[in-house]
Structure 1
Amino acid sequence: MDYRKRYEDWINGENFDDDTKKELIEISNDEKEIEDRFYKDLHFGTGGLRGVIGAGTNRMNKYTVARATKGLANYIIKQNEKEPSVVIAHDSRHFSKEFAREAAGVLLSSGIKVYLFEDLRPTPELSFAVRQTKSAAGIVITASHNPPEYNGYKVYWKDGGQIVSPVAEELMEEINNITDFSEIKCLDGCTLESFDDLHHLGEEMDKIYIDKVKSLSLNPEAIREAADLKIVYTPLHGSGNMPVRRVLKEIGFENVHVVPEQEKPDGSFPTVKYPNPEEVESFNLALGMAKKLDADLILATDPDCDRVGVIVKKDNAGYLKLTGNQTGILLGHYIFDSLKEKGLLREESFMIDTIVTGRMTEKIAKSFGIEVLSTLTGFKYIAQQIKEQEDEGGKHFVFGYEESYGYLAGNFVRDKDAVIASMLISEMAAYYKNKGMTLYDALTKLYEKYGYHMEELISLVLKGKEGAEKIGRIMDKMRNKPPKAVAGLAISEVRDYMIYEGPIKLPKDNVLYFVLEDGSWFAMRPSGTEPKLKIYIGVADSSQGAAENKMKLLIDEIKGFLGAAR
């Protein structure tokens, strides 16, 4: 069906409300906008279903949410589980609560028990609650760190991890089979509280989760000894405010200062361009506050509180924003070293990163005798590997992270967890402060020992159908006619993850990975959640200056390849 036919069906169909029809009629003279809204259905990428809020098949709205949920309900019913249940949570974004209730209604009307969080909660607590309630699945309404016009829908399976193959494909087939919205009950609204199978989650689940997070503390005595450590925290208008502050307070941190302008939930995210802790601009208010307080550490979590960004003090030289890889380096070493020091590091311990994560933490892990596994981009693949490795028996997961500010320790959550990470990062800062060191000092020492590693990400934004086609052409050209050298360095290996078979079994994915003769590397992949082509670059050298020079040469030449390929 072409986009025009879909558009007309929505305007004329009996299943769509007047507000939806009015919104679509208002764009009747904008053919490009109509095409973008209807040329495809939203699909599951690395972060699930995600898109701009609005009417249309390629938008986030109550109809796409209800359709996806009905597909999920049908899929769960086909698994023949006795009394299946689903946990639902949401963040602070526009329509998140409404979409969560919409999903709850569809599930309840399909005969499936629902555990619905009373108010916004962090995504990792949803993952935990799925495992805690022994539910068949979980749903969280969030668009993570995307701009305010976005929302999304992530599905978790019974292990607490986001869905992966083959469940993802089987679920999508069920969703695609739903072509008539009239078969979806509760689409026009229903009273959720009239269903006996609706159960609200609140303080009781919060306490169980927070207690589990606190159990991961490695050096509680360090917190007591560094009572003067000052932390500035911002939830960036999201769901992290209560859980992060609670866990830090309960574990003993007494000098935690929250940015007041960003404390309350607000889906418009009025104080930032993007509610993304990867962006240095999102720290502007927190950094100003930290300078006034002379704070040691600044933390920022994204709206659904699964990612955390970090700024550290550089003695008298101001502050440094850590990259996701640098935080992973510090956190990984702190966890490995603390476990070893306490005699808790098992021979069969393993960590997991992704193929586009920097390679320095791998070096560190191996120096502790820890096995390192690398998965595709997306924390759902890290969660999948945790399950598979533990199912084999005897193996012990100690740490997982990806360069995009996602970290996990412990085995009770199966997604990146900024509540856990915020606690461990704060404890780590206290640990080093007691040694007369900042986190910057600790990072410098690690570079001196393991070599100076540097990573960069180039994001090429290409929107709409035309943009998607350009991304496809670039990938095809780089796949079929890759360069022989970059910046004077020969390409020694090309991994095409559509066909590559590595040490662990990975799903096929549209990723190209190039290894250069000196060990430098770059990788290319279309984003699964945004209209972007992402290019990841990593280098290592004996000094910061040498690494920076090498990186500049690589970036310049890779940008040239991209321009030619378009």
Structure 2
Amino acid sequence: MDLQTIKNYETWLFDPYFDDKTREELKEIMGKEKEIEDRFYRDLEFGTGGLRGVIGAGTNRINKYTIRKATQGLANYIKAQGEEAIDRGVVIAYDSRHMSKEFTEEAALVLAANDIKAYVFEDLRPTPELSFAVRYLKAIAGIVITASHNPPEYNGYKVYWEDGAQVATRLAEEITKEIQQIHDLYKVIPMNKEEAQRAKLFQYIGEEVDDAYIKSVKNQSLRGEMIRKVAKDFKIVFTPLHGTGNLPIRRVLKEIGFEKVLVVPDQALPDPNFSTVAYPNPEEEAAFQLAIGLAKQEDAHLIIGTDPDCDRVGAVVKNKEGKYSILTGNQVGALLVEYILSTLKEKQGIPANAVIVKTIVTSEMGAVIAKQHGVDVVNTLTGFKYIGEKIKEFEETGEKTFLFGYEESYGYLAGTYARDKDAVVASMLISEMAAFYYAKGMTLYEGLMALYKKYGYYLEDLKSITLKGKEGMEKIQNTLEIFRSNPPIEIGGYKVALVEDYLNQNKLPKSNVLKFILEDNAWVCLRPSGTEPKLKIYCGVAEDSLENCRKKVNALMNYIAEKI
């Protein structure tokens, strides 16, 4: 370990500023060099969007001290924007994770100590409602305490700006500078809660914002009359995976007309341990084990599941063998593009300047569908904050009308009432879309097969390599640098036609991402995760059958795996 790491550890271990619980935790790791190094070799990084890490004592962990420091940096940035920004206040929401409520109060009371009002939800709420609330309350910023779909030992701190989107590159860098200038934690003192409430610097919010948010979600519904026709027969099984989605999704589905929504009983209530699943991620079929059991029992037509902060949603449908099978985020995205555009075309017409926004690692199938409907498609870097940036840009310029944005990692947004992916509106539209196919005598799986037949067969894959700690971060960076300095001529037998290096380009914000465009409608992309210690490898192909798609995907992924 270097001297600075040792100094950081000893400061936290012996200094009376840190509470007894923190110091006791650090006494337990005395002599464990690897553990001490991982906790103290750096400050937990404030990336584009905020912090995310394992809960625990240390500079490279998320705890009340790192929350205080980040919030003081945000407060300093807000104060630098002037009195009007200070007066507008900050909205704070939190999910069902360990320490979420405690971290929320720490952030709110640091803001109060800086004379910045905190609007705090009185109980857990979905992340997209925070995005909505920032704009609804005309706040200058927002904070949500969540680690999305990470394992239970994680929590996080995401920052939103006045447009309701997560802070993107420039803003994140400016806030990071403010945080990095805070060297003396002793000066970051939260206000007493009772004092903050008396000064009206800590204000609880709830029902009024809930009602406005739900109304905005329901405004995105496209076929209310059709839902009422099938409502008595169409069965939906829903699991919030112990998170924030239970109440808002059940409310929306009921209010637009669905009558048979069955919630998985053992996963309905908040549980920070996510005790019925290994990993609370609706991208994983294992997370749907209980939901599939209930669906089989009830012969349900659709299963939907949301992650703990309810910004991602997965859908499970019966395949041609009659077994329940999870759809990929790319498949659901393509289905929704077709459903939204074809319905608009049928009912009121698609706006002449309409646009769909997706990320660079998302399937091209949705783009092909959109273009067939005469709708432009814009690509962004991975991360919904970049889609949020595009919504703001279109709003300011008037050049485009945003209809729908999505990414392969199960995130979707229809409309502009929020500026982040929203599993509430996505759950509503997926349910409505499945009911639409049901009314036509088709399953959602059959609807997907019909799209393949019409637009061509597309298949994608994603593999994540977990590399924890300081050494892991170095390996991820080294791997990308090897591919950058010596790019392959071919991958899996397919020639590389173009290398897109997003660290060395001017079209999008710079990012450590490499994408290889191959001959014969295929691509491969490598990027480090922005929220987890992982190297992510994506690929996408197009072919004349799913079988040929799978062969091509396997060839590409096997090549990259062998290289790494």
TM-score normalized by structure 1?
Answer: 0.97
Judge conservation of contact 1:493–1:514 (CA < 8 Å) in 2.
yes
Judge conservation of contact 2:49–2:167 (CA < 8 Å) in 1.
no
Q: Does residue 484 in structure 1 map to residue 489 in structure 2?
A: yes
- Output the amino acid matched with 2:268: E
Map 1:315-394 → 2, pairs under 5 A:
317-394=322-399
- Output the amino acid matched with 1:270: S
Q: 1:444: which partner in 2?
A: 449
Q: Does residue 407 in structure 1 map to residue 412 in structure 2?
A: yes
Summarize deviations over 1:272-310 as a string: whole Å, max 9, x none. 001100111000000000000000000000000000011
Q: Does residue 49 in structure 1 map to residue 41 in structure 2?
A: no
Summarize deviations over 1:200-229 as a string: whole Å, max 9, x none. 111111011101111111010110111211
Map 1:83-482 → 2, pairs under 5 A:
83-186=87-190, 192-227=196-231, 228-314=233-319, 317-482=322-487
Distance verdict in 2 for CA 1:330–1:414, change over 3 Å: same
CA distance in 1, matches of 2:511, 2:102: 34
Give the deviation of 1:166 after TM superposition. 1.4
CA distance in 1, matches of 2:18, 2:51: 21
Question: 308-317 or 389-398: which moved more?
Answer: 308-317
Judge conservation of contact 1:104–1:192 (CA < 8 Å) in 2.
no
Give the deviation of 1:552 after TM superposition. 1.1
CA distance in 2, matches of 1:294, 1:317: 10
CA distance in 1, matches of 2:88, 2:323: 54
- Runs (4+) of structure 1 moved beyond 4 Å? 187-192
Judge conservation of contact 2:126–2:309 (CA < 8 Å) in 1.
yes
Give the deviation of 1:10 after TM superposition. 0.9
Judge conservation of contact 1:131–1:159 (CA < 8 Å) in 2.
yes
Give the deviation of 1:198 after TM superposition. 2.0
Give the deviation of 1:188 after TM superposition. 8.3
Give the deviation of 1:195 after TM superposition. 3.2
SS at structure 2 position matched to 1:365: helix
CA distance in 2, matches of 1:242, 1:47: 26
CA distance in 1, matches of 2:185, 2:172: 22
CA distance in 1, matches of 2:451, 2:555: 25
Q: Out of 507, 510, 530, which is 1:508 matched to? A: 510
- Output the amino acid matched with 1:125: E
Judge conservation of contact 2:193–2:202 (CA < 8 Å) in 1.
no
Question: 479-488 or 195-204: which moved more?
Answer: 195-204
Distance verdict in 2 for CA 1:60–1:191, change over 3 Å: farther
Give the deviation of 1:197 after TM superposition. 2.4
Q: 1:540: which partner in 2?
A: 542
Q: 1:69: which partner in 2?
A: 71
Give the deviation of 1:187 after TM superposition. 7.4
Q: Out of 38, 58, 61, which is 1:59 matched to? A: 61
Q: 1:14: which partner in 2?
A: 16
CA distance in 1, matches of 2:30, 2:194: 31
SS at structure 1 position matched to 2:169: coil
Judge conservation of contact 2:126–2:244 (CA < 8 Å) in 1.
yes
Q: 1:30: which partner in 2?
A: 32
Summarize deviations over 1:164-221 as a string: whole Å, max 9, x none. 1211101001011111111112178775433322221111110111011111110101
Summarize deviations over 1:106-138 as a string: whole Å, max 9, x none. 001110011100000000000000000110000
Summarize deviations over 1:26-60 as a string: whole Å, max 9, x none. 10111000000011111133552100000001101
Give the deviation of 1:102 after TM superposition. 0.6
SS at structure 2 position matched to 1:112: coil
SS at structure 2 position matched to 1:166: helix
CA distance in 2, matches of 1:282, 1:45: 28
CA distance in 2, matches of 1:460, 1:94: 26
Judge conservation of contact 2:144–2:157 (CA < 8 Å) in 1.
yes
CA distance in 2, matches of 1:90, 1:489: 46
Summarize deviations over 1:451-500 as a string: whole Å, max 9, x none. 11000001011110011111111111000001101122110000000112
- Output the amino acid matched with 2:160: Y
Judge conservation of contact 2:282–2:314 (CA < 8 Å) in 1.
yes
- Output the amino acid matched with 2:262: H
Summarize deviations over 1:311-330 as a string: whole Å, max 9, x none. 01236522221001001011
SS at structure 2 position matched to 1:548: helix
CA distance in 2, matches of 1:404, 1:46: 17
Judge conservation of contact 1:115–1:198 (CA < 8 Å) in 2.
yes
CA distance in 2, matches of 1:160, 1:243: 19
CA distance in 1, matches of 2:539, 2:199: 52
Distance verdict in 2 for CA 1:188–1:81, change over 3 Å: closer
CA distance in 1, matches of 2:527, 2:153: 24
Judge conservation of contact 1:130–1:158 (CA < 8 Å) in 2.
yes
CA distance in 2, matches of 1:81, 1:163: 21
Gaps of 5+ in 1: none
Judge conservation of contact 1:105–1:190 (CA < 8 Å) in 2.
no
Gaps of 5+ in 2: none
RMSD: 1.2
- Output the amino acid matched with 1:139: I
Summarize deviations over 1:412-450 as a string: whole Å, max 9, x none. 100000000000111111111111111111100100111
CA distance in 2, matches of 1:299, 1:46: 29
Judge conservation of contact 2:56–2:63 (CA < 8 Å) in 1.
yes
